[in-house]
Amino acid sequence: MKQDILLTRFAVVASTVALALGFANVFTSIDLGADGLSIKVMLVIVFSIATLSLFYGNIVYQLTRIGQLKRHLII
C-alpha cells in the first residue's frame, strides 16, 4: 500500500514535469510572423486552457487517490 502512494506521488511529479516541458516547447516554438499575432496567440491560449484543464483533472485524481490509500492504511 505504501508503494502505491509512492508511485502515485511519482505520477504527480511526472505529470507536472511533462506539463512544464510541454508548455516550454509550445511557448518557445511560437513564430510571430507578419501574418498576424492575434490568431497564433489565441490558438496558444485555447490550447493552454485545454491542457491545464486536463492537467487539473489528473492532479485532482492523483491527490484523491493518495488520500484514499492513506485512509485505508489507517483502518
Give residue 69's pLDDT.
Answer: 92
Give residue 11's pLDDT.
Answer: 95
Per-residue burial over 30-67, b = 16 or more CB atoms within 10 Å of its CB, e = otherwise: eeeeeeeeeeeeeeeeeeeeeeeeebeebeeebeebbe
Which residues are CB-contacts of 50 (< 8 A; sequence separation ≥ 6)? none
Domain count, the chain: 1
Q: Which domain holds residue 53?
A: 2-74
Give the tens place of pLDDT for each residue, 5-29. 999 999 999 999 999 999 999 888 7
* pLDDT at 71 > cutoff 80: yes
